[in-house]
Amino acid sequence: MRKNFLYLSIKDSLFTGLIALALFGPIVGLRTVAKNEVLVVSPKWFIVLVIVIVCALGRFLTNLYIYNRDQKFGIQSTIGKSITNFLDTKGTQIALSAIIFSVIFPFLPFTDRYLMDIAIMMLTYIMLGWGLNIVIGLAGLLDLGYVAFYAVGAYSYALFAIHFGWSFWICLPIAGIFAAMFGVLLGFPVLRLRGDYLAIVTLAFGEMIRILLLNWYQLTKGPDGLTGIPRPSFFGLPFKSFPDEGEQTFHTFFGLEYSPMQRIIFLYYLILVLALITNLFTIKIRRLPIGRAWEALREDEIACKSLGVNPRNTKLTAFAIGAMFGGFAGSFFATRQAFISPESFTFIESAIIVAIVVLGGMGSQTGVVLATVFLIGLIEVFRDFESYRMIAFGGAMVLIMIFRPRGILATRKPTITLQKKEATK
């Protein structure tokens, strides 16, 4: 038995080496260099050999120590179980401490401009993840074009703020409503679609919005983007280093030294509040009839119909509410950047948000946070390695899928319980 296993492992790792050779041979081994204005192939077989040996050896070792038949299940499920147990028992404490940490974060000694920027970016993704979680996690509608609503929110905020000079707090709900309208617009034609077909149409929708923004030059300035988007003010007090004559600014009003960090900190709290509102809203709406209908629709649409649940309205509200939060996040993005162009709303953004929701565990609010910190944090850590960032991103996804195939947090808590019964238990 043991011998047979060893034999199989060797065979398997040789095969891995062969695949590595086929892949890396042409990619790494055959390099073209320009010599006297002629392209010449200069083979690098040594590096290929090293890569192949590393792959084969690595496979052999993982076969021996990780995929060993007797232990295979052990390693994966113990890690998974301990994570789930930990989060199950300490869930509320973790959430509370995470919120406290994020509230005091700007005033911690090691916090600098760079960390604040990353934190703001993470919170934006968390908010987008929570918004998309309504569509994917609860209603089970795989939406690959979520970034479209983010874009609609950003552009409608920017256009209203630039042309009408309305303040952030007026433009924010307008941007949300616009995004929700686009959500319904997308929702109508895809009512009958499910699964892969729905994914393709939503993907196309995302691209359509981007291309529209790129080409409707009169309104969106196309690829030049919109500049001079007004910065948010602290309830009417702008963040400015040199106030105009007689103008009250944030630092003069509070009698502080001017510092550019003040605005960053304000933006940080702004997105923190927006994200927490998204979270509270989702937690609450899950327990309402509409939230339960979303989940029921994800489970079985035909059964829903037989119970008199209107699938059209239910799906459209999911699209609209998910899109609305995307729109809120979009207007925050616009006001933070003060410049937006269609380049910020490419498919890769949608893909990252979907990855956050799926890897976090569909429908899990805490999972979204964990996945965001993990994925976006990893991308940031690898910032210096530029082109290897996406490899790290992919690697992280593969790792999560190996150890937690249904997402980091895959457990679902019922939205309503018979408490009396549990008390007597």
Binding site for another protein (CB under 8 A): 281, 284-285, 288-290, 292-293, 295-296, 299-300, 302-311, 317, 412, 414-418, 421-422
Residue closer to another protein by CB (options 159, 362) is: 362
| Burial grade of 324 (CB within 10 A; 0-12, 13-18, 19 or more) | buried
Q: Which is nearer to another protein, 278 or 317 (CB)?
A: 317
Shorter beta-carbon distance to another protein: residue 130 or 205: 130
**CB 353 within 8 Å of CB 128:** yes
Considering beta carbons, is residue 239 or 319 the nearer one to another protein? 319
How many CB atoms within 10 Å of residue 95?
Answer: 15
Shortest distance, position 163 Cβ to another protein, whole Å: 31
**Smallest distance, another protein to C-beta of residue 406, A:** 11
Provide the minimum distance between the beta carbon of 81 and another protein in the complex, in angstroms, as a whole number: 18
Look up residue 57 and give its two tokens.
Answer: 């050896």
Determine the Cα–Cα distance for residues 291 and 266; give it in Å rounded to an integer.
Answer: 33
Quickly tell me which residue has 């600098």 as its tokens: 112
Quick one: 2 or 421, whose CB is closer to another protein?
Answer: 421
- Residue 38 host element (H or E): strand 38-43
Of residues 387 and 419, the one with the C-beta less far from another protein: 419
Mapped onto helix, strand or coil, the DSSP state of residue 31 is strand
- In whole angstroms, the minimum distance from the beta carbon of 407 to another protein comes to 13
CB 182 to another protein: min, Å: 20
CA 349 to chain centre: 8
Q: How far apart are CA 175 and CA 181, in angstroms?
A: 10
Looking at residue 255, what DSSP letter applies?
T
CA dihedral 360, 209, 348, 162 (to 10 degrees): -90
* Closest approach of another protein to the CB of residue 288, in Å: 4
